[in-house]
Amino acid sequence: MKTYEMYINGEWTKSANEAVIDVLNPSSSEKIGEIPRGTKEDVDRAVRAAAAAFRTEEWRSYSAFDRGDLLFAIADKMQESKDELAELETTDVGKPLSQAYADVDAAIRYFRFYGGAADKVMGDTLPIQDGLLDYVVREPVGVTAHIIPWNYPLQIISRSVAAAIATGNTVVVKSAEDTPLTALRLSEFFAELDLPAGVFNHVTGYGYEAGAALAGHPLINQLTFTGSVATGISVGQAAMANVVPATLELGGKSPNIVFADCDVEATVAGVVRSIIQNAGQTCSAGARLLVEESFKDEFLKKVIEQFGKLTIGAGIEDKDIGPILNERQFDRVMGMINIAREEGEILFGGNQMTVEGFENGFYIEPTIVDGVSPHSRIAQEEVFGPVLTVFTFKDTEEALELANSTDYGLVAGVWTKDINRAHYLASRIDSGQVFINNYGAGGGVQMPFGGYKKSGFGREKGWAALDNYTTLKNVAVKYR
């Protein structure tokens, strides 16, 4: 058990009131650490430090190439500490160890991707008229705020912080109170670099305290948030009150659309993997299975067979499925399953599991729900657990209607050998990403990620994310 401190203005510090929050291992509910319960005062110190650092000649003197080197240095530190980071992520989040290793690999790739991009963010010239040189430059926005969710802390902090620093901004991070450990370790890597104080700051604490204070701080210039719709609305409104742009990724209820002509084995594997990753605690989880009616029985039989082979256990044991984060999340998932049990049929699972040696963890069997209305709660709301809800369709148009029948639009999968049908659906599905005959693409570091409708707005990942952290300036020079 370790007591941690926040990193503000180049120094490690307790919270202003010295209050702490317990950090628990989801696999066992064992206390593994204490973090500062950051206050509005702490957030103010961090933001003011970032604002001051942004204005210094020292930070302005860092060329784009220098910033790229800085990000490569962080990537190298992460690579050297890969085993430690994976074990921290598993202990903190509860996900299987192999999945934690994949998260570390993706996080390293974000720093390397944006390290390479740092000196390649270009401006433009505009042909206005003879004697007038008009050019457009991209400049950093200033202080960027990053509110990180609990389910993929290392990946998500890496993808936004790396892009922000690549473009010359200064950063304030608020990690999730439940899963702060890899963010704290990343803060240590930044502390080891010879950086101006205040370029990188990390505040820990509750979302409704430290997170709210950060979202509404008048000196931030941009906000990136990943989390629930309700919280996203709140932080977005807080930022907008100061006319601060926000990038919001707010979850999904993503469909896998399966046609009878699919590659059956590959499709079964993709569908199963998309709902059990991180015990279904994934915004892009393939939570809805839309299967061609004539193919339903054959396909479901194979999915159920695969569900029956899945193993459940503590994250460090590296089984197929780890625990639900905490009792609150567990109660919500089981509540949704019990409602579905009354409205439809549980084809597989649906029960709490006890894992020997980890009896105090919160484990749920992977679950398949059938026979509910497409308008039911289980079909419309994020469950954030390993729960797959099944629907059928007769033709492509009915599949499209079902795919678009929720308030979300983050990810969709289409499984078919008919390439014309696949492209047609990709052009009509209301979703920020559409995967054809695959799902997830191994993290997709280069692929812009974000949603339609209540899945949010703006894009993270890839080159598109750099737009979040730059602002355009037009300069017109009269020379004759």
Looking at domain 255-443, does it have CATH number 3.30.465.10? no
What was the pLDDT predicted at 1? 83
Asked if 410 and 274 count as a contact pair (C-beta separation under 8 A), the reply is: no
Residue 121 binned pLDDT confidence (cut-offs 50, 70, 90): very high
What was the pLDDT predicted at 450? 96
What was the pLDDT predicted at 448? 96
- 3-state secondary structure labels for all residues of the chain: CEECCEEECCEEECCCCCCEEEEEECCCCEEEEEEECCCHHHHHHHHHHHHHHHHCHHHHCCCHHHHHHHHHHHHHHHHHCHHHHHHHHHHHHCCCHHHHHHHHHHHHHHHHHHHHHHHHCCCEEEEEECCEEEEEEEEECCEEEEECCCCCHHHHHHHHHHHHHHCCCEEEEECCCCCCHHHHHHHHHHHCCCCCCCCEEEECCCHHHHHHHHHCCCCCCEEEEECCHHHHHHHHHHHHCCCCCEEEECCCCCEEEECCCCCHHHHHHHHHHHHHHHHHCCCCCCCEEEEEHHHHHHHHHHHHHHHHHCCECCHHHCCCECCECCHHHHHHHHHHHHHHHHHCEEEECCCEECCCCCCCCEEECCEEEECCCCCCHHHHCCCCCCEEEEEEECCHHHHHHHHCCCCEECEEEEECCCHHHHHHHHHHCCCCEEEECCCCHHHCCCCCECCEECCEECCECCHHHHHHHEEEEEEEEECC
Overall pTM surpassing 0.75 (yes/no): yes
Average pLDDT over residues 189-216: 97
Average pLDDT over residues 293-317: 98
Q: What is the mean pLDDT of the chain?
A: 97
Q: Write down the domain spans for the chain.
A: 2-250+458-476, 255-443
Name the nearest CA neighbour of 356 among 2, 28, 72.
Answer: 28
Average pLDDT over residues 205-216: 98
User: Tens of pLDDT along 347-372?
Assistant: 999 999 999 999 999 999 999 999 99
Topology of domain 2-250+458-476 in CATH is Aldehyde Dehydrogenase; Chain A, domain 1 (3.40.605)
Query: Catalytic: which of 177, 249, 292, 365?
Result: 249
Residue 395, pLDDT > 90, answer yes
Residue 441, pLDDT > 90, answer no
Residue 442, pLDDT > 70, answer no
Please report, rounded to a whole number, the percentage of residues in the chain having pLDDT higher than 70. 99
What was the pLDDT predicted at 443? 67
Residue 138 binned pLDDT confidence (cut-offs 50, 70, 90): very high
User: Tens of pLDDT along 34-75?
Assistant: 999 999 999 999 999 999 999 999 999 999 999 999 999 999
Is 343 a catalytic site residue?
A: no
What was the pLDDT predicted at 428? 98
What was the pLDDT predicted at 444? 84
Average pLDDT over residues 152-165: 98
Give the CA diameter of the chain: 82
